[in-house]
Amino acid sequence: MRTGCVIALTFLVLAASVRAGPVVAVSVSPAVISQGGAVVVTVTGDLPDGTPQVRFAGRTWPLYRESNRWRTYLGTDPNTAAGSRAIVVELVDRDSIHVLARRIITVRRVAFPRRTLIFDPETLALLTPEKVAEEQAKVAAGLRVLEPAQLWSAAFRMPVAGTITSPYGVISIYQGASHGWHHGIDIAAPEGEIVRAANSGIVRLAEPLPLSGNTVIVDHGMGILTFYMHMSALDVTAGERVHTGDIVGRVGSTGLATGPHLHWGVRVNGVYVDPLLWAH
């Protein structure tokens, strides 16, 4: 009788421990990207208490909760090391970090071209450490609070029609020195041409910046932002809700620009990715 009780108890304990264990499914898509691309990580299942996060490319990334799953986008750029890269999904609880899953993706190296820019002295005079700091502070202030829920729907669209005069990732050379890689694409279009929101979201910044000129930043949720720069006019204000195709401003050449164009950028959880992979 006593033996029977012990056996029954053992079964109960086993059943309880199996139920409490994390039964999660992790999907990562796509498995192969190029520098400038992004992957989506989805975690579904019965997560124990704690906050899930992702480790990738030397940093942690937030996972955003949706009704019965967690999801995030991981961006890559020219600085992301090419090759096989691990994506580790972790659960952070009060006193430890558990690894829930590990996946491997391939990041392909891209040979980003170089371009030489010639600015007139007046435009170049804008490029001082003070102006750079001022711009960074204004952008940081605008992006202090971001929307965790997905606000975009369907595909992103190009904000303006025109010729792409400078693609993503190009290394800019001026005054004989390299000034980093291009964080977006330049679309040449006539001065005053309408610029439209690439997708739905909340305007986080709509103001003149010292280097980027008249700028709009739209928060599409889940760490996805779009940037519209060098415009001649602003048609929205910070805090405003916009829908795909709404007018956000007009093409111009304000700030550090050599002629009328729209600089369009897409940022994924802090990393500027290739906008052409989001809209064609």
Radius of gyration of the chain (CA): 23
Using the minimum distance from each CB to Zn ion, give the nearer residue, 250 or 263: 263
Using the minimum distance from each CB to Zn ion, give the nearer residue, 150 or 172: 172
Nearest-approach distance from CB 141 to Zn ion, in angstroms = 22
Nearest-approach distance from CB 81 to Zn ion, in angstroms = 25
Using the minimum distance from each CB to Zn ion, give the nearer residue, 156 or 227: 227
Q: How far apart are CA 72 and CA 222, in angstroms?
A: 7
Tokens of residue 242, six digits: 């916009």
Q: Which of 79, 68, 70, 84 is nearest to 33 (CA)?
A: 84
Using the minimum distance from each CB to Zn ion, give the nearer residue, 135 or 186: 186
Tell me the residue nearest to Zn ion as measured from the CB: 263
Interface with Zn ion, residue 263, by CB under 5 A: yes
Binding piece for Zn ion, criterion CB under 5 A, among 86-94, 127-135, 218-226, 255-263: 255-263
Query: Strands 114-116 and 171-174, how do they pair?
Result: parallel
Nearest-approach distance from CB 205 to Zn ion, in angstroms = 17
Using the minimum distance from each CB to Zn ion, give the nearer residue, 70 or 227: 227
DSSP state letter for 275: G
Using the minimum distance from each CB to Zn ion, give the nearer residue, 223 or 265: 265
Interface with Zn ion, residue 274, by CB under 5 A: no
DSSP state letter for 252: B
Tokens of residue 240, six digits: 């405003």
DSSP state letter for 26: E
Q: Which of 227, 218, 174 is nearest to 199 (CA)?
A: 218
Interface with Zn ion, residue 103, by CB under 5 A: no
Distance from chain centroid for Cα 87 = 17
Nearest-approach distance from CB 34 to Zn ion, in angstroms = 20
Q: How far is CA 269 from CA 32, 64, 130, in A?
A: 19, 11, 26
Nearest-approach distance from CB 132 to Zn ion, in angstroms = 15
> Pattern of binders to Zn ion over 173-212, x per CB under 5 A?
-------------x--------------------------
Q: How far is CA 142 from CA 117, 146, 219, in A?
A: 29, 9, 10
71-90 binders of Zn ion (CB under 5 A)? none
For 245, half-sphere exposure in the C-beta direction (CA atoms, 13 angstrom radius) is 3
Using the minimum distance from each CB to Zn ion, give the nearer residue, 87 or 256: 256
Nearest-approach distance from CB 264 to Zn ion, in angstroms = 8
Place of tokens 């450490």: 129
Nearest-approach distance from CB 100 to Zn ion, in angstroms = 39
- Which residues of the shown chain bind Zn ion in the complex (CB under 5 A)? 186, 263
